């Protein structure tokens, strides 16, 4: 059972009703045609107002709320200055008619409102916010379009000023006021006293504008002090000030908000209890606000239970005084890429409490930081690597994480792997958390949300982790996957975190040079291509290229795609002899790929530290492999020399170090030999034979002497095909032979290695029976395709069943190798670092004096990861750059 302590966390929201009504009206009125109902009632101000209120209700985690209105035409201010607010245009009738609609709306919404005869809305707000601070409120939010209220800002009070429109808001705490106006909130009235305010018909000191006023306040702090020391001013300035002393003091007084208005209500009256749903819906219907109507209906259906208030930590002292214990935590990082992202805050949920600590406070609290770094406090988390790396960039360690919901659910079912928290927990029927998009928005509109909103989201996530943990662990145990989770994925996350954080150094100058060379070659190629084509066009557009080749130049169409002619490399290959333009295009394609993806792409991904910090996705692939993004360092060219040169730009981060690469030799075929128990292949591996040659001899029935490189190449293709669950068609495409020949090859192969044939049949049966296949380390892949009616889909399921255990076991083995190697490196206290994993190889940077040790340590550890019927073999190579480690 989870108990969340409900602290006396009160948040008061005060709204300047008149100000927002004006904003709402004019924001939609400038176009000329005002929104109205079919019966002719003007509703544009109401509409804007509702929009505004919806945003307020979403954003501020309020417990109490009030909307203040101005009442009569005369206020106490008119006693001092009769001309106050003279010269204002009268309120348009179209707006006036909406005042009562807005008031009715607020009543139905359940929000208190107040207007007083001789006071303005500002004064009501000023009085309430002042009282609230002494009365058990932790936070006061004031929402207005009027900058006067900025004078109320203090450590507990934030003023939100509407900018253009109604929902675009600028928030001011003390620092923000200072940043924008260069004065403290208290000085806002002095500023106004000096500058005046034309909209209230306050003159101030004529000739003094914002700039001068700020300058004077920097020197004299207040109007009174300025008045007392006018002798320190010179020339015209002194004349201007002295001539208007009284006016300045009066204007300041006029602008000063009255904080002791007698009020006919208590805070209890302001408690927000929610809307009168039925009546509000009827009202929206009457106003023809269909979008709002729909919104209520949606909220009604999904929110049957009200949200509990949440606790947001307000000071570092509060954090220092907490007692810490095993908890679920969530580190909220804004931005998909956590290397560049900002930590907004950290939520903590345990048996007794649930709270959210804004990161600015959290990082200053010693008690909280030692909670994070202490491994005796056990933490549950979602995506530990993300949290850990983000904290590493802040120089903060995170230890003691023994449960990662992302990794656990990924193991239970790899299709669950998603960084979208809600999607993951939905698989476990958990519904108590929003989509990331609902919190931050999407696309161009994506932005950091209000702290209350973020806090809610973060606490919801931590709560879900806390609640789901035992259920998920139990399921892992039942399925025999606990060890895979605890001994493989969890420790691997820490290894990966360090790799990502360390990053890999780039030789940017080298990259730049290669780029220049490529660019000039591309320019030359482009003009040759245009010349050959007799026209210029976009070579990068398959559509335009297709038209040039197959219409303008009338070359034979080899293949079509869904949308037109295929112009891929295979097609171009076949057209090579038809026209001299083809080889130019092929070269153009190769070079422009290198230029845009690898030269420009890598440059863009390079950080200020001269390194690329990739992110390994540990919970994505269906087979258990890792993937790599921003940049993808698992597909850097190697096969063609021109592309391979890119690798010269990957260098050690320190002078005199080397890049060391170690890769498993034929790991997938070894695994296949092991699982299928194919004696002759096992023997061949034991003896260290060339396995493709061996396959060629067995399948094509030739002796060692009769072996040709062509036969070996064919055998290699068959071996690859076997791993992927090939078809005759696939092999024929690959080897450019007929399907009939391909079929013959495959039959021969399966006859020769009957164990493999048996394995292929058994694994498909097993998959159909269980619904999933497993790797040697109990990783699962579910294959629902096998139950489908569609033949092609079922075929795909069968290939998946054959391939997943092989690819997956290989992934398991290298993951374990990474953990073992990292532990060995810590034991030996080497400086060398693991940088990358590329599916069957590990890349390190090593100081020269550790080279020998590392070669021995790495290859030995990789080979000893697991004992199979075949030996594992790791090869290595090294050099000054990744290019040389071949």
Candidates 688, 667, 678, 673; CA nearest to 751 is 678
Identified binder of DNA from the candidate list 629, 702, 750, 851, rule CB under 7 A: 629
Identified binder of DNA from the candidate list 305, 639, 740, 789, rule CB under 7 A: 639
Alpha-carbon distance of 711 to 524, in angstroms, equals 40
Least spacing, CB of residue 606 vs DNA, in Å: 12
The answer to whether 627 contacts DNA (rule: CB under 7 A) is: yes
Identified binder of DNA from the candidate list 115, 402, 587, 600, rule CB under 7 A: 600
DSSP 820-839: HHHHHHHHTT---EEEEE-S
User: Count H helices, E strands: the chain?
Assistant: 39, 23
Q: C-alpha angle with apex 147: 141 to 149, nearest 5 degrees?
A: 45
Q: Which of residues 73-92 bind DNA (CB under 7 A)?
A: none
Q: Alpha carbon 24 to chain centroid distance?
A: 33
The answer to whether 797 contacts DNA (rule: CB under 7 A) is: no
Residue 717 or 854: the one with the smaller Cβ distance to DNA is 717
The answer to whether 601 contacts DNA (rule: CB under 7 A) is: yes
User: What does the chain come to in residues?
Assistant: 886
Residues 114-117: contacts with CB under 8 Å, at least 24 apart? 114/66, 114/67, 114/68, 114/69, 114/263, 114/264, 114/265, 115/68, 115/69, 115/70, 115/71, 116/71, 116/261, 116/263, 117/71, 117/72
Residue 102 or 742: the one with the smaller Cβ distance to DNA is 742
Q: Which of residues 427-456 bind DNA (CB under 7 A)?
A: 442-444
Least spacing, CB of residue 839 vs DNA, in Å: 3
The answer to whether 70 contacts DNA (rule: CB under 7 A) is: no
Identified binder of DNA from the candidate list 630, 766, 863, 884, rule CB under 7 A: 630
Residue 258 or 543: the one with the smaller Cβ distance to DNA is 543
The answer to whether 423 contacts DNA (rule: CB under 7 A) is: no
Identified binder of DNA from the candidate list 3, 80, 435, 729, rule CB under 7 A: 729
Alpha-carbon distance of 374 to 379, in angstroms, equals 10
Q: Which of residues 300-339 bind DNA (CB under 7 A)?
A: none
The answer to whether 176 contacts DNA (rule: CB under 7 A) is: no
Alpha-carbon distance of 566 to 578, in angstroms, equals 16
The answer to whether 575 contacts DNA (rule: CB under 7 A) is: no
The answer to whether 341 contacts DNA (rule: CB under 7 A) is: no
Using the contact rule CB under 7 A, the part of the chain among 8-16, 304-312, 346-354, 728-736 near DNA is 728-736
Q: C-alpha angle with apex 570: 569 to 572, nearest 5 degrees?
A: 65
Residue 62 or 815: the one with the smaller Cβ distance to DNA is 815
Least spacing, CB of residue 153 vs DNA, in Å: 34
Q: Which of residues 242-301 bind DNA (CB under 7 A)?
A: none
- Burial (Cβ within 10 Å: 0-12, 13-18, ≥19) of residue 18: buried
Residue 434 or 632: the one with the smaller Cβ distance to DNA is 632
Alpha helices in 221-307 (DSSP H): 223-228, 235-243, 245-255, 267-270, 277-287, 290-302
Using the contact rule CB under 7 A, the part of the chain among 112-120, 225-233, 483-491, 633-641 near DNA is 633-641
The answer to whether 780 contacts DNA (rule: CB under 7 A) is: no
The answer to whether 631 contacts DNA (rule: CB under 7 A) is: yes
Pattern 840-869, DNA, x by CB under 7 A: xx----------------------------
The answer to whether 661 contacts DNA (rule: CB under 7 A) is: no
Alpha-carbon distance of 713 to 709, in angstroms, equals 6
Least spacing, CB of residue 734 vs DNA, in Å: 3
Alpha-carbon distance of 700 to 694, in angstroms, equals 10
The answer to whether 628 contacts DNA (rule: CB under 7 A) is: yes
Alpha-carbon distance of 393 to 395, in angstroms, equals 5
Least spacing, CB of residue 641 vs DNA, in Å: 10
Least spacing, CB of residue 598 vs DNA, in Å: 8
Alpha-carbon distance of 858 to 560, in angstroms, equals 48
Candidates 180, 246, 234, 170; CA nearest to 210 is 180
Q: Which of residues 526-545 bind DNA (CB under 7 A)?
A: 538, 540-544
The answer to whether 482 contacts DNA (rule: CB under 7 A) is: no
Least spacing, CB of residue 408 vs DNA, in Å: 18
Q: Could you tell me how many residues of this chain bind DNA (CB under 7 A)?
A: 71
Residue 219 or 635: the one with the smaller Cβ distance to DNA is 635
The answer to whether 518 contacts DNA (rule: CB under 7 A) is: no
The answer to whether 665 contacts DNA (rule: CB under 7 A) is: no
Alpha-carbon distance of 109 to 688, in angstroms, equals 79
Least spacing, CB of residue 426 vs DNA, in Å: 19
Q: Which two tokens stand for residue 134?
A: 């002494």
Q: Which two tokens stand for residue 320?
A: 């220092």
Q: Which of residues 799-838 bind DNA (CB under 7 A)?
A: 799-800, 803, 807, 838
Asked if residue 289 lies in contact with residue 108, where contact means CB atoms within 8 angstroms, the answer is: no
DSSP 100-159: HHHHHHHHHHT-EEEEETT--HHHHHHHHHHHHHTTTEEEEEEEES-GGGGGG--SSEEE
Identified binder of DNA from the candidate list 608, 687, 792, 826, rule CB under 7 A: 792
Identified binder of DNA from the candidate list 196, 358, 515, 721, rule CB under 7 A: 721
Least spacing, CB of residue 212 vs DNA, in Å: 40
The answer to whether 500 contacts DNA (rule: CB under 7 A) is: no
Candidates 12, 81, 442; CA nearest to 247 is 81
Task: Tell me the CA end-to-end span of the chain in Å, nearest whole number.
Answer: 57
Least spacing, CB of residue 397 vs DNA, in Å: 28
Residue carrying structure tokens 């006061």: 140
The answer to whether 718 contacts DNA (rule: CB under 7 A) is: yes
Residue 341 CB neighbours (<10 A) = 16
Identified binder of DNA from the candidate list 230, 342, 632, 881, rule CB under 7 A: 632
Pattern 730-749, DNA, x by CB under 7 A: xx-xxx--------------
Residues 510-515: contacts with CB under 8 Å, at least 24 apart? 510/648, 510/649, 511/599, 511/602, 511/603, 511/646, 511/649, 512/603, 514/599, 514/645, 514/646, 514/648, 514/649, 515/595, 515/599, 515/600, 515/603
The answer to whether 714 contacts DNA (rule: CB under 7 A) is: no
The answer to whether 568 contacts DNA (rule: CB under 7 A) is: yes
Residue 474 or 516: the one with the smaller Cβ distance to DNA is 516
Using the contact rule CB under 7 A, the part of the chain among 25-33, 521-529, 626-634, 697-705 near DNA is 626-634
Residue 491 or 637: the one with the smaller Cβ distance to DNA is 637
Identified binder of DNA from the candidate list 552, 593, 686, 828, rule CB under 7 A: 593
Q: Which two tokens stand for residue 747?
A: 């039959």
Identified binder of DNA from the candidate list 78, 839, 869, 873, rule CB under 7 A: 839
Residue 263 or 586: the one with the smaller Cβ distance to DNA is 586
Query: Is the preceding omega at residue 631 within 30 degrees of 0, hence cis?
Result: yes
The answer to whether 660 contacts DNA (rule: CB under 7 A) is: no
Identified binder of DNA from the candidate list 61, 365, 409, 623, rule CB under 7 A: 623
The answer to whether 589 contacts DNA (rule: CB under 7 A) is: yes
Q: Which two tokens stand for residue 17?
A: 């009703």
Residue 186 or 544: the one with the smaller Cβ distance to DNA is 544
The answer to whether 620 contacts DNA (rule: CB under 7 A) is: yes
Candidates 864, 852, 870, 867; CA nearest to 878 is 852
Q: Which two tokens stand for residue 710?
A: 């062509």
Alpha-carbon distance of 90 to 96, in angstroms, equals 10
Least spacing, CB of residue 617 vs DNA, in Å: 5
Least spacing, CB of residue 684 vs DNA, in Å: 20
């Amino acid at each position: 059972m989870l108990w969340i302590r409900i602290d006396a966390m009160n948040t008061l929201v005060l709204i300047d009703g008149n100000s927002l009504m004006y904003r709402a009206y004019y924001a939609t009125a400038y176009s000329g045609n005002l929104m109205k109902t079919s019966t002719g009632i003007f509703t544009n101000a109401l509409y804007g107002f509702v929009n505004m209120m919806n945003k307020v209700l979403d954003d501020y985690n309020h417990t109490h709320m009030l909307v203040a209105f101005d009442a009569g035409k005369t206020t106490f201010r008119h006693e001092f200055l009769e001309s106050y607010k003279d010269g204002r245009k009268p309120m348009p009738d179209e707006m006036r008619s909406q005042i009562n609609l807005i008031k009715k709306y607020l009543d139905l919404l359940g929000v208190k409102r107040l207007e007083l005869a001789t006071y303005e809305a500002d004064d009501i707000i000023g009085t309430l916010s002042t009282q609230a601070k002494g009365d058990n409120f932790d936070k006061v939010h004031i929402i207005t379009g009027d900058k006067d209220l900025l004078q109320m800002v203090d450590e507990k009070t934030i003023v939100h000023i509407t900018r253009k429109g109604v929902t675009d808001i600028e928030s001011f705490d003390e620092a923000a006021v200072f940043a924008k106006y260069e004065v403290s909130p208290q000085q806002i009235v002095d500023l106004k006293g000096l500058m005046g305010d034309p909209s209230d018909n306050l003159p101030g000191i004529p000739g003094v504008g914002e700039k001068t006023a700020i300058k004077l306040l920097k020197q004299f702090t207040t109007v009174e002090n300025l008045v007392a020391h006018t002798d320190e001013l010179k020339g015209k300035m002194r004349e201007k000030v002295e001539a208007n002393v009284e006016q300045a003091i009066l204007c300041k007084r006029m602008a000063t908000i009255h904080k002791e208005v007698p009020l006919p209500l208590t805070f209890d009256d302001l408690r927000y209890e929610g809307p009168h749903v039925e009546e509000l819906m009827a009202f929206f219907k009457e106003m023809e606000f269909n979008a709002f109507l729909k919104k209520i209906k949606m909220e009604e259906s999904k929110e049957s239970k009200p949200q509990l208030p949440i606790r947001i930590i307000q000071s570092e002292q509060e954090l220092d005084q907490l007692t810490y214990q095993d908890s679920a935590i969530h580190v909220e990082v804004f931005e998909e890429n956590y290397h560049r992202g900002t930590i907004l805050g950290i939520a903590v949920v345990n048996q007794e409490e649930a709270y959210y600590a804004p990161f600015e406070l959290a990082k200053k609290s010693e008690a909280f930081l030692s909670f994070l770094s202490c491994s005796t406090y056990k933490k549950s988390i979602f995506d530990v690597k993300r949290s850990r790396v983000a904290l590493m960039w802040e120089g903060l360690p995170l230890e003691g994480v023994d449960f990662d919901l992302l990794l656990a659910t990924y193991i239970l079912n790899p299709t669950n792997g998603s960084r979208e928290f809600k999607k993951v927990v939905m698989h476990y029927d958990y519904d108590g958390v929003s989509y990331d998009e609902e919190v931050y928005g999407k696309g161009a509109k994506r932005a950091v949300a209000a702290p209350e909103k973020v806090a809610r989201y973060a606490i919801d996530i931590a709560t879900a982790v806390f609640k789901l943990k035992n259920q998920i662990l139990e399921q892992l145990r039942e399925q025999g996957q606990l060890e895979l989770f605890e001994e493989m994925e969890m420790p691997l996350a820490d290894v990966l975190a360090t790799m990502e954080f360390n990053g890999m150094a780039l030789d940017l100058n080298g990259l730049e040079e290669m780029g220049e060379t490529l660019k000039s070659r591309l320019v030359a190629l482009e003009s040759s291509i245009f010349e050959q084509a007799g026209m210029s066009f976009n070579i990068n557009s398959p559509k335009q290229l297709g038209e040039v080749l197959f219409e303008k130049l009338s070359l034979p169409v080899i293949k079509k795609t869904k949308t037109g002619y295929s112009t891929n490399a295979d097609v171009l290959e076949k057209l090579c002899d038809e026209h001299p333009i083809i080889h130019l295009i092929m070269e153009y394609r190769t070079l422009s790929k290198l230029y845009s993806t690898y030269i420009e792409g890598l440059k863009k991904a390079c950080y200020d530290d001269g390194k690329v910090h990739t992110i390994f996705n540990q919970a994505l692939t269906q087979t258990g492999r890792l993937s790599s993004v921003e940049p993808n360092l698992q597909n850097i060219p190697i096969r063609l020399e021109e592309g391979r040169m890119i690798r010269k730009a990957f260098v050690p981060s320190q002078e005199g170090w080397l890049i060391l690469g170690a890769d498993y030799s034929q790991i997938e075929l070894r695994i296949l030999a092991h699982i299928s128990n194919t004696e002759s292949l096992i023997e061949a591996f034991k003896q260290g034979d060339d396995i493709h040659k061996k396959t060629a001899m067995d399948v094509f029935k030739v002796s060692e002497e009769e072996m040709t490189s062509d036969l070996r190449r064919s055998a290699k293709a068959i071996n690859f095909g076997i791993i992927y669950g090939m078809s005759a068609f696939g092999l024929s495409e690959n080897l450019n032979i007929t399907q009939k020949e391909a079929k013959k090859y495959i039959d021969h192969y399966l006859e020769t290695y009957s164990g493999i044939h048996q394995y292929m049949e058994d694994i498909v049966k097993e998959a159909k029976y269980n619904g999933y296949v497993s790797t040697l380390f109990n990783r699962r892949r579910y294959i629902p395709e096998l139950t489908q009616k569609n033949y092609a889909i079922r075929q795909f399921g069968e290939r998946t069943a054959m391939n997943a255990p092989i690819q997956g076991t290989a992934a398991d083995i290298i993951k374990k190798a990474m953990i073992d190697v990292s532990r060995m490196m810590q034991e030996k206290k080497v400086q060398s670092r693991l940088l990358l994993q590329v599916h069957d190889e590990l890349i390190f940077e090593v100081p020269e004096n550790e080279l020998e040790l590392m070669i021995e340590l790495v290859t030995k550890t990789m080979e000893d990861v697991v004992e199979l019927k075949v030996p594992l073999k790791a090869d290595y190579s090294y050099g000054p750059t990744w290019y040389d480690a071949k």
